[in-house]
Amino acid sequence: MHFVKLFRKIAVSVFSAAIFAVSSISCVSAEDSINSFYEKWKDNYVVRDTYVTDEDQYYVWYSGEKYNNDNQSVAVTVSEAHGYGMLITACLDDKELFDGMYRYYKAHTSDIGSNLMSWQQCDNGTALIDGASDGSMQGGSADSATDGDMDIAYSLLIADSVWGSDGDISYKSEAVNIINDIMKYEVNKTDWILQLGDWVYYCDENDKYYSATRASDFIMQYMPVFAEVTGDDRWLEVYNSTYDIIDKFVDEYNTGLLPDFIIKDSSGEFTAAPEYFLEDKTDGSYGYNSCRTPWRIGMDCIVNNNPSAKKFTETINSFIINSTGGNPDNITAGYTLDGKSTEDYNDLCFDAPFIISAKCGDNSEWNDTLWNYILDYDDDVYYGDTIKMLCMISYTDKWIVPETQPDIISIKKYILGINDTAPESSDINKNNVTDVFDLSMIKNKSMAEK
């Protein structure tokens, strides 16, 4: 079994620090860097939907294009970008923008899973429309993409942890609704793996897309959280089955590199997809989708110290350090699974995720070199800059793991050495939440009684 009990944010810094590379990066300088880059990121990519006049709705402008009065609609954002924006604003305590992004999400839901987000919106000069294709000025049927839905759900759990759910938006119940729809519409319940989007829900089991999955959707740290907040242990089936796939590729290629898309072959084995399976020639290579895996899988090493995540990060760290000679500028924008570069240029979206896998390792020189390289990187585009923003947050204590009742019990038993694990006994200062102040007070009381 791959499942390891998750710890909430405070437990990460207390209990898991020993597994990380010792870095010379100070907390103060990291926070200053994050705050500065966040202001730049907001200015460049966060846009208000000006067609909506009765409330503020915000989205993340991903395309760099605008409608230019030529009767051709222009794509302006996708659910992937929107999930990223909601994660960033929740972690950085920007409630005004977060709530505006929530309202935008609610205005653009899928026609299949009603709590999932339509994967793309286009500007036709009078509105942002869903389901438009090839420049159509009219909307069409809307469906979802799995990673955007997972990020939106998790961001709402963060929002519940940061602001609570007693206001106008019940963040937690909204998150649970999304998570339940992901399980219903975006999980292959034969192999217990994530599917590409809710549109696959209508595919026959023999369809090539039914058993396909996307490595960039392997957001492993979320799955135990989703199981906790919904009480749906099927998320642990997905967690374990996904790690079986990750382990297979790590063992087979010894690079840690995963393909953009993964399919189930005629023998029942999961293998790299062929060229142009869904998007591009690189569908079976380490490309612009799977470049996020050192971050996405690495976070489960940081938060849960999962052994398969640890093995993955150790393998990919070794590969990237050796292949680049320890120089981040030598990271290329694509690799075959056995480690040959497919491109001759560098790209920020490939660089930034490696700071998360680096944090799981023990090479402080590589850790610091990579962090400074990413901080000094020139202005990029939406994709690179947004992944950089999220990796900076994830690298520091700005990343939030939603608190769950079992976490409190684990922390109490570990720190305090007491057997009374009833959650209600933890709220010493009677503010209806168990937090670090309660734990400190319990510890002081325990020491005074000895």
Name the nearest CA neighbour of 76 among 135, 153, 155: 135
Residue of 123, 143, 147, 186 marked catalytic: 147
Instruction: Tell me the residue length of the chain.
Output: 450
Please confirm, yes or no, whether 94 is among the known catalytic residues. Answer: no
Q: Residue 214's closest CA among 192, 190, 244, 194?
A: 194
Both tokens of 381, joined, read 């585009």
The 3-state DSSP class for residue 340 equals coil
Please list, residue by residue across 334-371, b when 16 or more beta carbons sit within 10 angstroms of its beta carbon and e when fewer do: bbbbebeeeeeebbbbbbbbbbbbbbbbebeebbbbbb
Round to whole Å and give the CA distance between 431 and 427.
Answer: 7
DSSP conformation class of 210: T
Cβ within 8 Å of residue 445, ≥6 positions away = 428
Beta bridge partners of 187: 194
d(CA 256, CA 267): 23
Question: In this structure, which long-range contacts are made by residues 156-165, counting pairs with CB atoms below 8 Å and at least 24 apart in sequence?
Answer: 156/86, 156/90, 156/102, 157/225, 157/229, 157/402, 158/87, 158/90, 158/91, 158/400, 158/402, 159/90, 159/95, 159/98, 159/102, 160/402, 161/400, 161/402, 161/403, 162/90, 162/93, 162/95, 162/400, 163/95
Active-site residue, 435 included? no
Residue with tokens 């900076």: 392
**Amino acid found at 126:** T
| 392 within 8 A of 335, measured Cβ to Cβ | no
Best CA proximity match to 257, nearest among 218, 293, 221, 289: 293
The DSSP H or E segment spanning 194 is strand 193-194
Residue 55: CB partners within 8 Å, gap ≥ 6? 103
Quote the crossing angle between the two packed helices 95-107 and 146-163, to the nearest 10°.
Answer: 140
- Map tokens 């374990």 to a residue: 240
Distance in angstroms (rounded) separating the CA atoms of residues 247 and 217:
16
| Active-site entry in 49, 80, 130, 143 | 80
The position carrying tokens 């899973």 is 113
The four Cα atoms 259, 265, 269, 274 give a dihedral, to 10 degrees, of -10
Catalytic residues: 80, 147
